């Protein structure tokens, strides 16, 4: 894929859309593309991460359980898989498998560090966006907690194994 095509795909991913054109050019130039056939595994649940992936073509299924239950999520073009893996090495929480012939752009943590060092405004924008996401998640979890309290009464019961 041409550099401009990769920049266009990266711009579709919400986190990367916060980068200016020069930062996107660096990411597109320094990242690597990987082509997968239908059924190829990008990574397995429990693997140590090697970066985040932006789907540039095709569809990647993310399956959390290994029991054959329905796919948890399908990532299509412009989707970012493994946002946290852009910044640090983590254990993969799901298995990612190509549903059809697909291409992904891998962005390593070292590349992201370089981008954030060279483009501090991008670092600030990403920090703010991720902080807002975390705030929304925290509020949603608190809402769920309040509903559970309302269902169960004032106290959430302790399970038998936790009493001892």
Closest listed residue to residue 7, CA positions, set 59, 96, 23, 15: 23
Tell me how far the alpha carbon of residue 147 is from its chain's centroid.
28
pLDDT at 141: 85
Was domain 3-114 assigned CATH 2.40.128.20?
no
Mean of the per-residue pLDDT values of the chain: 87
pLDDT over 50 at 164, yes or no: no
pLDDT over 80 at 23, yes or no: yes
Could you report the per-residue pLDDT of 106-138, keeping only the tens digit for each? 999 999 999 999 998 888 888 888 888 788 888
Closest listed residue to residue 44, CA positions, set 114, 91, 85: 91
Write down how long the chain is.
Answer: 164
Q: Are 56 and 77 in contact (CB under 8 A)?
A: yes
pLDDT over 90 at 29, yes or no: yes
pLDDT over 70 at 70, yes or no: no
Higher pLDDT, 87 or 65: 87
How would you class 34 by CB atoms within 10 Å of its CB: exposed for 0-12, middle for 13-18, buried for 19 or more? middle
Q: What are the extents of the domains in the chain?
A: 3-114
Strand partners, 33: 105
């Amino acid at each position: 894929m041409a550099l401009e095509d990769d920049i266009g795909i990266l711009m579709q991913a919400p986190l990367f859309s916060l980068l200016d054109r020069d930062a996107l050019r660096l990411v597109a130039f320094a990242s690597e593309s990987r082509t997968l056939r239908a059924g190829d595994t990008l990574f397995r649940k429990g693997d140590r991460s090697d970066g985040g992936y932006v789907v540039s073509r095709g569809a990647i299924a993310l399956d959390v359980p290994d029991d054959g239950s329905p796919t948890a999520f399908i990532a299509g073009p412009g989707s970012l898989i493994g946002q946290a893996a852009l910044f640090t090495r983590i254990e993969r929480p799901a298995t990612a498998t190509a549903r059809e012939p697909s291409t992904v752009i891998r962005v390593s943590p070292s590349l992201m560090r370089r981008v954030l060092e060279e483009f501090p405004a991008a670092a600030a924008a990403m920090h703010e966006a991720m902080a807002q996401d975390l705030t929304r998640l925290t509020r949603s979890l608190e809402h769920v907690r309040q509903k559970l309290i309302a269902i169960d009464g004032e106290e959430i019961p302790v399970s038998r194994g936790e009493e001892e």
